[in-house]
Amino acid sequence: MLNHERKTRLLSILSDAGSIVAKDASRELEVSEDTIRRDLRELARDGRLKRVHGGAVPVAEANAPFAARIGIAPPEKIAIGKRAAAMVEPGQVVFVDGGTTALQLARSLPAQLSATIITHSPNVAMELLNHSNLDVEIVGGRLLRHSVVTSGAATIAWLDRYRPDICFIGATGLHPDQGITTGVSEEAEVKRAIIAKSGSAIILASSEKFGAVSSFKIGDWRDVDGLIVAGEARPRALELFGHLECEIHSDENA
Amino acid sequence: MLNHERKTRLLSILSDAGSIVAKDASRELEVSEDTIRRDLRELARDGRLKRVHGGAVPVAEANAPFAARIGIAPPEKIAIGKRAAAMVEPGQVVFVDGGTTALQLARSLPAQLSATIITHSPNVAMELLNHSNLDVEIVGGRLLRHSVVTSGAATIAWLDRYRPDICFIGATGLHPDQGITTGVSEEAEVKRAIIAKSGSAIILASSEKFGAVSSFKIGDWRDVDGLIVAGEARPRALELFGHLECEIHSDENA
DNA sequence: GACTATCGTGCAAAAACGTGCAGAGTCAAG
DNA sequence: CTTGACTCTGCACGTTTTTGCACGATAGTC
């Protein structure tokens, strides 16, 4: 393995897990702890991470409440993101919502993919900077601090510029009878607007949302085309949502 | 096999796998490692890839470590950012450009400041998430990978929604006679548009830009109201720009 | 304050590197 | 067809870089 590749993987471990433990990394990358320590020392000298006893942590730690949030992305969300990324075809125009699961989607897109990604999340946009063949469009508007997306009348108006092939939407409530809901009124407006303009609409569904109902309705099940679930949540999803006019995608049915 | 064909295949291995290991490539292309090394050296000289010990990696990496770039912000840019942040009054509507110096401005804004910040840089927007009393507006459009700002016709059109009290603009060329310039055409358009709509326009001027001229003109000195310089650059700035109809602010004249 | 895990440094083996050189192939002029 | 200039490739050799181990120092824990 290239020295450089190893450092890249260390940085990716850092951003995925939020920290690096030298001993674990040594086992995972199959090199001695000495080498890991050397790498960490060099990365620290370049300001890419902060060295601590036993491993390393991100540099920005102090001022990054959001970085912490993405650091703790649970395996389920990562799996949903991967499954969603696999649905994107080259050349498509894709809308990606904000939120941690959507961010995982962005991370999982193939590095060489050529497509157009539209998003109202500055996070997602930043994540896609490394994908040199992607066209990235940011939807403007007022930034909602809580969810880190733009929204408001201006955002809704701006959305009319787009007719994506497919959109990936997050939600905080997924109920068989009450439909798809979210906790913030402005966000619901944006999600509803983009679903109406997209060729197909896919909901990113982590299992803690199953059966929940939030205050603002995004739409009914007939408004969307698919639902992505992952791992052990699959049987519950089938039970709850299997009878609806909405396809259930998961990482286990290939 | 033709020399040229071999290099093409090396580049394709690089884009498929994300890296080249000299030994593996030598086996796959059935030539000696020496030849592979020679090829890699030449490709590196042409800027098609980056040579590392053991093989090669994509050169694109050069523009990816934006996170690294902001980590190593030189003291001068930090000082300029601080001085600029001090010019923002509570309640104002402020446009902030992209770039590393503008990012320092964002970082230096008082945590409790209540104001409206408009920006076309997702970076700057993200940085302001911690400032809970700020209204942040993102200007949408197509994301320019290199400078991490939105631009294009849609961006220009969207800008017409705003009439900021003050705007802070970066530039890559500051010449007494040739005016204010930047290296990317689309960026110049955005900068010019927002300057025209702002009550006052301030240029963030780190000293390596003094006397330089880039390819695309943003405007003349009479179009802007002020210039922020820092530290030891002050005497040079006064000498070069002191006679222009443009106020020079620095961190030493309080 | 003692014990253990981790750290940094020096060192030697292995891998990768650059350079010089010779043989093979190519091309154009004679 | 022959000759000479030129390029490309593989090999040899000395140099540099990387890596794992040994050992004393240091930091964290109980």
Residue B212 and residue B176: Cα distance in Å, rounded? 9
Please give the structure tokens belonging to residue B43: 């490709």
The answer to whether the beta carbon of residue B34 comes closer than 7 angstroms to any atom of strand C is yes
Q: Which nucleotide is nearest to B32 (CA to C1')?
A: D10
pLDDT at B62: 39
Whether residue B15 lies within 8 A of chain A, CB to CB, comes out as: yes
pLDDT digits (tens, 9 = 90+) for A110-153: 988 999 999 999 999 998 988 888 999 999 999 998 889 999 99
Give the residue with minimal CA–C1' separation from D16: B53
Bridge-based pairing state of the strands A179-182 and A216-219: antiparallel
Residue type, A226: G
Burial A159-181 (b: 16+ CB within 10 A, else e): beebebbbbbbbbbbbbeeebbb
pLDDT digits (tens, 9 = 90+) for A30-74: 899 999 999 999 888 887 888 899 889 887 533 343 444 444 557
Q: What is the DSSP string of B158-209?
A: HHTT---SEEEEE-SEEETTTEEEES-HHHHHHHHHHHHHSSEEEEE--GGG
Residue B88 and residue B90: Cα distance in Å, rounded? 7
Angle, helix A3-17 to helix A22-29, in steps of 10 degrees = 130
| Tokens 């701006």, located at residue | A158
Count of CB atoms situated within 10 Å of the CB of A118 = 24
Strand residue runs (E) in A64-148: 93-96, 115-119, 134-138, 141-144
pLDDT tens, per residue, chain B with 254 residues: 678 888 889 988 988 888 899 999 999 888 999 999 999 998 888 878 889 999 998 875 434 444 444 444 567 888 999 999 999 999 999 999 999 899 999 999 998 999 999 999 999 999 999 898 999 999 999 999 888 999 999 999 999 999 999 999 999 989 989 999 998 999 999 999 999 999 999 999 888 888 888 889 999 999 999 999 988 788 888 888 988 888 899 876 54
pTM, entire model: 0.70
The answer to whether the beta carbon of residue B23 comes closer than 7 angstroms to any atom of strand C is yes
Contact predicate B28/B13, CB 8 Å: yes
The answer to whether the beta carbon of residue A50 comes closer than 7 angstroms to any atom of strand C is no
pLDDT digits (tens, 9 = 90+) for A175-191: 999 999 999 999 999 99
Written in H, E and C, the secondary structure of A176-216 is CCCEEEECCHHHHHHHHHHHHHCCEEEEECCHHHECCCCCE
Q: Give me the CA A37–C1' C8 separation in Å, rounded.
A: 10
The terminus-to-terminus CA distance of chain A in angstroms comes to: 31
Please give the structure tokens belonging to residue B206: 């780190």
Triad A176, A181, A182: Cα angle to 5°: 150
Contact predicate A131/B63, CB 8 Å: no
pLDDT at B1: 66
Distances (CA, A) of A101 to A72, A79, A136, B92: 11, 9, 18, 35
